Amino acid sequence: MASSAPPHTAVRRPLDVPRPLDALHLDIGGPPTLTRVAADHLRRLGGRVRESDRASGSGSGSDSDSGEIALGGAGFAPVTARTAWGVHGSGIEDEATAQAVTGVMAVHGRRHGAPRGLGVDYLATATGVLTVQGLLAALVARARGGDGPRHVTTTADRAGLLAVSQYLAASGADEPEAVELDAGGPPFTSADGIVFELETLDPGAWADFWRALGAPDGAIRAGWRPFQFRYATACAPFAAVLHEVTRTHSLERIRQAATASGAEVCRLRTLTERATEDDGADPWSLRRLLPGVPAATRPVSPVGPLEGLTVLEAGRRIQAPLAAHLLGLLGARVIRIEPPGGDPLRGMPPACSGVSARWLALNRGKEAVEIDIKSPGDRGRLRELAADADVFLHNWAPGKAAGLRLDAEHLAAANPALVYAYTGGWADRIADAPMGTDFMVQARTGVGEAVHPCDEPPAPSLMTLLDVLGGLHGTEAVLAGLLLRERTGHGVRVDSSLLGAADTLLGPALERVRRGRAPRPPAGFRHPIRTSDGWIAPSDLCAAAASAHDLSGMCTEEALHRLRSHGLTATAVTTELSDLHHDPRLSGPIGRDAHGAPVVPDPWSLA
């Protein structure tokens, strides 16, 4: 759902810190839905925005035109970016149709048992962040003495493929999923009617929590694996009795059980609550460290704008590995720090040629070095690696880097030119914050309310929305740090977070709250229409008119012909992700890597 309202402008930023785009200017045109996030982030990075040619209007209608951004000045030749929903004539014309084609509706709908659209403009948001990445990468290449790309193209369909890449990889694996893909999952409801999210990464804590509440042992044992794998499958079909158990206890009793067991619970907050506490801070922070220049001049080649740069990544799960993966796609050499014996997620089912398909989606092409960060000797090896790197990126638990003397100040002593990047959960902006995981941040920030229309109960999406968007923010922050390093001659610390990603995603909804308007989508918003052999999704602009047609009994082709003959835009919903390999509506082909795992096209085209 788009909004032409200006973003919340209060920011928390040290006034004496230069920004990477200071003295550069921006010209923006095209539909606000596609350019809102990019314009906001470029402005926060210091760009002076000239919006005289910007298209006016609002709503969640079909934005058939592309967005255009030109960035230049201060000795930088202009770089232009074009954003679009997809290829002209593909039927991908807005957020709804982009979600339908790329499999986002299918993945988000797994917990419901049927395709379902996200109530937020997730792909437009991701496309905006990717656009900023492309522009920053081009400027980094030029600041390093190379020619660099002059034109960046991003499309929402490629952003969608990136968002579902792990789920797509699993669909093309040599073996089935480790757990059944079926409807169900959190959140839970207490006896006093309070909806809450539960989180633990420990099977012992899971069992102790449920035993304290009197759940049956069989349901406890059978429920752990679907709960554990919900990050990978976007559903958690455990026994309904677990929901029945929580409805017999007050939230206070449930909190006591969580505290005693080591699990955590978080009440689902509303968008109004989030708008009240929102401090307007930037979605990332940049802080200069010591003066320093790269150890050696590294030429920029046509292979990619980051060619010759080295990224040292110590990431787990999704957020940091995805950020480093994107830096690798831009040409950087990525060296992954793994524990002795290798990353255990390499063995996460399902596998392609013996390697986890999901792991490959985020880590293919990276080099790996095994280091025991608990060992003083190995920490010394890591410092040596950092001394020759351009970026050190991690998402360890809060305080862990400082405790190991591997924080920004420690590594800057070995490499003053380092860009030190941390992708975390809360950025120290929320008091008494719960565990900084995707679903807990969704619950705490109101995302769980925003993604569902007003006729449905709030629930965090079991698709890893914030892990992916947080990874995109991490890449964006690193690129901003690299540009700031080149322009100031200082090493830089950059911090990004899942909270920052949530605030970016929720921008229009929070602005509606501040204006006294209903923040959630209307009833039935982005609900695909059932056909005899599948589902179709009308564009947001045409949804009301499409619902007036009786499509019952029609096959998908007939239903689409009926709607299109009346001038309405609609497209078939992708329900099997494996079908994406041969979908002519997409702007780029899906390939295979050396293990046979699916490879989605790069999210930008650089020319």
Catalytic machinery residues: 527
Q: How far apart are CA 498 and CA 284, in angstroms?
A: 10
| Beta-ladder partners of 312 | 335, 392
Of 149, 534, 553, whose CA–CA distance to 330 is shortest? Answer: 149
Strands (E), 468-581: 490-497, 529-530, 535-538, 570-572
Q: Which helix (H) or strand (E) holds 581?
A: none
Residue with the two structure tokens 């090896």: 381
Q: How far apart are CA 456 and CA 114, in angstroms?
A: 14
DSSP string, 102-131: HTHHHHHGGGGTS----SS-HHHHHHHHHH
Query: Helix/strand/coil (H, E, C) string of 397-440?
Result: CCCHHHHCCCCHHHHHHHCCCCEEEEEECCCCCCCCCCCCCHHH
Helix 95-102 / helix 156-163 crossing angle, nearest 10 deg: 40
Q: How many of the other CB atoms lie within 10 Å of CB of 592?
A: 12
Q: How far is CA 216 from CA 197, 212, 261, 263, in A?
A: 20, 11, 17, 18
Q: Torsion-angle region of residue 198: left (phi > 0), alpha (psi -120 to 50) or beta?
A: beta
Q: Is 339 exposed, middle or buried (0-12, 13-18, 19+ CB in 10 A)?
A: middle
Q: How many of the other CB atoms lie within 10 Å of CB of 65?
A: 14
Tokens linked to 104: 């986002």
Q: How many of the other CB atoms lie within 10 Å of CB of 89?
A: 8
Report the helix count and the strand count for the chain, using DSSP H and E. 23, 23
145: DSSP letter: T
DSSP string, 565-578: HTT--EEEPP-SGG
Q: How far apart are CA 226 and CA 223, in angstroms?
A: 6
Maximal CA-CA distance, the chain: 71
Q: How far apart are CA 23 and CA 36, in angstroms?
A: 21
602: DSSP letter: P
* Rg of the chain over all Cα atoms, to the nearest angstrom: 23
Amino acid symbol at 5: A
Buried b (16+ CB within 10 A) or exposed e, 227-257: bbbbbbbbbbbbbeebeebbeebebebbbeb
Q: How far apart are CA 596 and CA 38, in angstroms?
A: 35
Please answer whether residues 29 and 7 qualify as being in contact, where contact means their C-beta atoms are separated by less than 8 angstroms. no
CA 409 vs. chain centroid, Å, equals 28
Please answer whether residues 441 and 269 qualify as being in contact, where contact means their C-beta atoms are separated by less than 8 angstroms. no
Q: Residues 6 or more apart from 277 whose CB is under 8 A from it?
A: none
Query: Helix/strand/coil (H, E, C) string of 170-205?
Result: HHCCCCCCCCCCCCCCCCEECCCCCEEEEECCCHHH
DSSP 3-state of 316: coil
Q: How far apart are CA 173 and CA 67, in angstroms?
A: 37
